Structure 1
Amino acid sequence: MDTETLLSNYACRGLFDDDKVTLSFWEVDRTVVGGVVPISTAVKLPAPGYLACRYFCQRRELGVMNLGGAGRVVLDGEEFALTLRDTLYVGRGTREVSFQSDDPSDPARFYLLSYPAHAEYPSMLVEASTIEPLELGSPDDCNERLLYKMICPGVVDSCQLVMGFTQLKTGSVWNTMPPHTHERRSEVYLYFGMEEGKAVFHMMGDPKETRHMILRNYEAALSPIWSIHSGVGVGSYSFVWGMGGENQEFTDMDGVAVDELR
């Protein structure tokens, strides 16, 4: 694949439009990735035809993370307030989902990730301030980072969805290095927190046939089960990670040593 073919198959760009929900369907694990920036009005989550559903969460669960100003998500009339990096789990069977910003001059920016669900679990708000992060990496390896598990076993009951975010410390540029694959689930990375003119070189592909995509602020990478997923930034950044598939155990991964990469 050349650059444009890689990007057209494995990158999600243009997810965040004002007053509009943008959704992208990926056939791997029937993933839906989306975003919305509500400005002047409440924006409702549609039910796209390719899901063949009466309402979006008829047979699906949904994770919503706020990457902007304060906002609210309303689920069947129940309101949840989300500040920066707060995450809402939306359970199967929720009929109406809408998004609002508290201040149009500093709007919320809601990132959406959804997978099919085989059972109904209650919707639940997870505030980022309540999560104790895992400290990973080291300064010597340029990958010192804080990992926040927002939707995962022990925090929120879900069918497939596992979701959180990672914040790199000052001076560190590598995420998830050494890399890994996981045969039992796919993953989506959404990069954020980048300044204008900065980018991340997202590494992907079979460990012995690696490729890269250059991604910028609020752009996502789709990572199939056979692909590594790592990246290096030319400045500070964070990323949302989310997974769906057969296993929710965070440590279920197949490591790849750096000297095995090609």
Structure 2
Amino acid sequence: MEIRHPIHPRDAAQFSTERMRAEFLVQGLFQPGEVKWVYTHHDRMLIGGVVPVEAPVTVSQVPELHTEYLLERREIGIVNIGGPGTVTVDGEVYGLARRECLYVGLGKRTLSFGSVDRAQPARFYLVSAPAHQAYPTRKTGPQDAEFEQLGSDDQSNRRTLYRFIHANGVQSCQLMLGMTELAPNNLWNTMPAHLHDRRSEVYLYFDLDPAARVFHFFGEPGETRHLVVANEEAVISPSWSIHSGVGTRSYTFIWAMAGENYTFKDMDPVAMDDLR
């Protein structure tokens, strides 16, 4: 497991590009036959990737957490961004097609990840947060999630936002998770920007052409920086940072939040005049 420590915004403003990428960019999550973990002390979120190929990959204990099993004091959201797969939760099997999501709550002891076709393996993206109450395991996806149409073509930001794990959908203790898909030829996400000082957020960019990149904007409104992000890379966004981006081509991203409040619209808008 790779561990990332909290960073103060005044310190982050002095970082080189290399240091920014080392602290906030998550690469190499999806490795065949393995489970990869990155632990961030920003709201103690745990970010992972699993690509089962020849055999299922089972996750029970994560030694660095110093608990008997992964979900002893945690909950987890799982999104499949690859071929058809299965997630087995304490012996119960759930099929997950591409872009479908599974929530697993506090107290479940064993997760096992499999692919239906090893030639087109599943690619499971995992986000976990601490939890103090158990909620039922539930599956969802774009076909039955609450969604919202945002933006416009003239602003190059027309997109569909799907809410998977949230107060009015799949219930959880504190984790919120969803997906935003940009329409063809639209490039911007989350601009005008906002903050939510009571929650950290993680973005995973995917469905991005291998030659394309997303320029992810980051930092306090008056001290912005950017990270150049490739397909299937994630960005850890602390509570003090904006999180916005523009791609060289359209793309999709999974957003996940954890922290103080459990209200999706708990946001502090940032005026364009305040961005630097």
Query: Under TM normalisation by the shorter chain, which class is it?
Result: over 0.9
Question: What's the CA shift for 1:132?
Answer: 4.5
Aligned to 2:256: 242
Out of 113, 116, 122, the position equivalent to 1:99 is: 113
Q: SS of the residue aligned with 1:217?
A: coil
Structure 2 counterpart of 1:54: 68
Gaps of 5+ in 1: none
Secondary structure of the residue aligned to 1:50 is helix
Tell me whether 1:115 sits opposite 2:111 in the alignment: no
Q: Residues 158-196 of structure 1, C-alpha deviation per residue, up to 9 Å, x if partnerless?
A: 111000000001121000000011011000000000111
Q: Which residue of 2 aligns with 1:204?
A: 218
RMSD of the alignment, in Å?
0.8
TM-score, length of structure 1 as denominator length: 0.98
Q: For 2:51, give the aligned amino acid.
A: V
Q: Which residue matches 1:19?
A: 33
Amino acid at match of 2:234: A
Gaps of 5+ in 2: 1-14
TM-score, length of structure 2 as denominator length? 0.93
- After TM superposition, the structure 1 = structure 2 runs for residues 60-71 of structure 1, keeping only pairs within 5 Å, are 60-71=74-85
Match of 1:181 in 2: 195
- Aligned pairs for 1:1-262 within 5 A: 1-262=15-276
Q: 1: distance between equivalents of 2:70 and 2:24?
A: 23
Residue type matched to 2:167 in 1?
P
- Runs of 4+, deviation exceeding 3 Å: none
2:143 aligned counterpart, secondary structure: helix
Is residue 77–residue 102 contact of structure 2 (8 Å, CA) maintained in 1? yes
Once the two structures are overlaid, the 10-residue window that deviates more, 10-19 or 44-53, is 44-53
Deviation at 1:46, TM superposition (A): 4.4
Q: CA deviation at 1:252?
A: 0.5
Per the TM alignment, residue 131 of structure 1 is displaced from its structure 2 partner at its CA by 2.1
What is the deviation of 1:217? Answer: 0.4
Q: How many residues are treated as equivalent by the alignment?
A: 262
Name the amino acid aligned to 1:27.
H
